[in-house]
Chain A
Amino acid sequence: MDATIKKQLEITACKVRLGILEGVFNAKSGHPGGSLSIADLLTYLYFCRMNVYPNSPDEPQRDRLVLSKGHTAPALYSVLAEKGFFDKSELKNLRHIGALLQGHPCISIPGVDMSSGSLGQGISAACGMALSAKISSDTYKVYTILGDGEIQEGQVWEAAMFAAHYQLDNLVAIVDNNGLQIDGRVKDVMSPYPIKEKFEAFGWHAIEIEAHDFDNLEKAFNEAECISSQPVVIIQKSIKGKGVSFMEDNVSWHGAAPNAEQYEQAVAELNARLKELEG
């Protein structure tokens, strides 16, 4: 990837992380850990990969994204705001009464392609969108992001079977493998491993990458683009809470908001990183 583009993406991802924290802090609730682990992925998709139209969010030929791990809505909202789907000032109203931004993704929000949040359901809707495109010979792509804990839901595997059966090669699922879920380490709560082999056994083309690296993301999505007659899953090994030192790989930040002091520290860390990048 071109160094200038990469740097710009890193700057954007940093701003996205600041937006996540602003939302969760002001809401006094929400899910910062899993939002921060997909900040780079979402930044890459919306700023580098997807054809989307902030001024015409419902454009029929747009690429779609279903955030199956819907509790990480703060990340999606922050990226959409950064992209210009709605004003950034909405972020601080996240989860408030009367706010545009609901606790979990809601289809009425500009740029949100599907309501989600009850785990395991988003991937099925993504399959329906991808099937629709196939039926109508439309060329748009459908992306869906799942948590590694989420794939414990049986519906995910019903959908996995469906996608392979109908050869939905216009569908890319990304499993955010940050290794943590509410009750602890994913491997201790209910191991979904091996993830790659499971998807392969269901007929998917599977790619494993280290997350938080735009070169890796670019390579993986380029590879996905070349696969035909099969859906593709990208399993990104990520760090929950990535970018905020005290949140990284710490299960207690799955669904808790920082207090004022913690928020200040997190913002200071991210601003320092931003300064370093922009410097």
Chain B
Amino acid sequence: MADVIKKATRESYGEALAELGDKYENLYVLDADLAAATKTGIFKKKFPDRFFDCGIAEANMMGVAAGMATTGKIPFASTFAMFASGRAFEIVRNSIGYPHLNVKIGATHAGISVGEDGATHQCNEDIALMRTIPGMTIINPADDVETKAAVEAAILHNGPVYMRFGRLAVPVFNDKSTYKFELGKGIQLRSGKDVTIIATGLMVAEAIEAGKALAEQGIEADVINIHTIKPIDSELIVKSAAKTGLVVTVEEHSIIGGLGSAVSEVLCEKQPTKVIRIGVNDVFGHSGPAVQLLKEFGLSAENIIGTVKAAVAAK
């Protein structure tokens, strides 16, 4: 694994905007004084006339994006996940969601892996909040390749999209030459009969690692990457749950309202199955290096392996 390239999905997001800026002349980028951190600065450098800093005023930025979208432009509004989904929630709901405007929200620094900045900036609630807005599409890509494909898919989709990116550099495991992104479709990464592991975002790499290790120990897992949390791929989830009879969800987000909840909602109505949710357990985070925090909060291959083994043994 020594030669695996690592890159933060926020970096991939900034690069994607800059790359796609040539192809999509209608693409504009707004930021709230965080261009250096959200990496929209990469776009700004290439297209200074199509980048607008809104200052530290996220509520207004979302409204400005909405207004621009009414005139046919495709604005990407970027800031940290905490401010995009939290502070600006009601503007996203009423000025973007209700009129179903073609605004793309690029939310970086999601989850506990923000690290040293601590609890105020570690947003573990954004998926839950955004899921409640009718018509909102939510994408949580897992690596560089997926992020770049997702950004283009968001441009091609007519309607509001919330995209979630991380600060921490993570392995690039998808192969650009063969990868295909389909909005609303999960990706089966491994097949097995004993358990279904459904992961999203930065946790997909951990789930892949766990799947391999479990196989060596005689447990065959279905490993599924759900990059689009809304609309969710019910068909794939139901099919896998029917086969394995046991589901473990893994997300760098609160266990309340995110992937675990979305999967549970699907299964309790269509294919009642035991679901174990791995995520942030209804607690605030704290400061520390990202990798250590992920381990501490159980967001690791190690914890997935332990959880799956215990659950399979109890089957």
A residues engaging B (CB < 8 A)? Answer: 60, 64, 66, 106-108, 113-118, 120-133, 135-136, 154-155, 158-159, 161-162, 165-166
Contact = CB atoms under 8 A, between A and B. Distances in A.
B64 interface: yes
B34 to A, nearest CB: 15
B55 to A, nearest CB: 7
Interface string B64-97: 1111111111010000000000000011001100
Contact of B71 (A106, A116, A132, A158): A132
Pairs of residues from A and B, 7 with the lowest C-beta to C-beta distance, nearest first = A128-B67, A124-B63, A158-B60, A158-B57, A125-B67, A128-B64, A132-B71
Nearest to B100: A107
A124 B94 contact: no
Most buried by A among B49, B50, B64, B98: B64
27 contacts: A60-B71, A60-B72, A107-B70, A107-B99, A115-B94, A115-B98, A121-B59, A124-B64, A124-B66, A125-B64, A125-B70, A125-B95, A127-B60, A127-B67, A128-B63, A128-B68, A128-B70, A132-B73, A135-B28, A135-B49, A135-B50, A135-B73, A155-B57, A155-B60, A155-B91, A158-B59, A159-B60
Interface of B: 28, 49-50, 52, 54-55, 57, 59-73, 75, 90-91, 94-95, 98-99
Contacts of A166: 52
Nearest to B68: A128
Contacts of B70: 64, 107, 113-114, 125, 128-129
Contacts of B91: 121, 124, 155
A125 B66 contact: yes
Prevailing SS type, chain B contact patch? helix
Contacts, number: 105
Given A115-B94, A132-B68, A124 B59 contact: yes
A171 B66 CA distance: 16
A238 to B, nearest CB: 25
Contacts of A116: 95
A59 to B, nearest CB: 12
Contacts of A162: 54-55, 57, 60, 64
A120 B64 CA distance: 12
Given A121-B63, A127-B64, 12 more contacts: A60-B71, A106-B99, A108-B99, A114-B66, A121-B95, A126-B67, A127-B67, A128-B71, A131-B68, A132-B73, A135-B50, A159-B63
A131 B72 contact: no
A211 B72 CA distance: 35
B188 to A, nearest CB: 39
A161 B94 contact: no
B228 to A, nearest CB: 26
Contacts of B99: 106-108, 114-115
A125 B50 CA distance: 18
Nearest to A112: B99
Nearest to B65: A128
Contacts of A135: 28, 49-50, 73
Nearest to B94: A118
Nearest to B56: A158
A51 B2 CA distance: 64
Contacts of B67: 66, 114, 124-132
Residue with the highest number of chain B CB atoms closer than 10 Å, among A115, A124, A131, A133: A124
Nearest to A138: B71
Contacts of B49: 135
B62 A124 contact: yes
A219 to B, nearest CB: 28
B138 to A, nearest CB: 21
Nearest to B91: A121
A159 B99 CA distance: 20
A130 B66 CA distance: 12
Nearest to B93: A118
Contacts of A106: 98-99
A130 B90 CA distance: 22
B95 A124 contact: yes
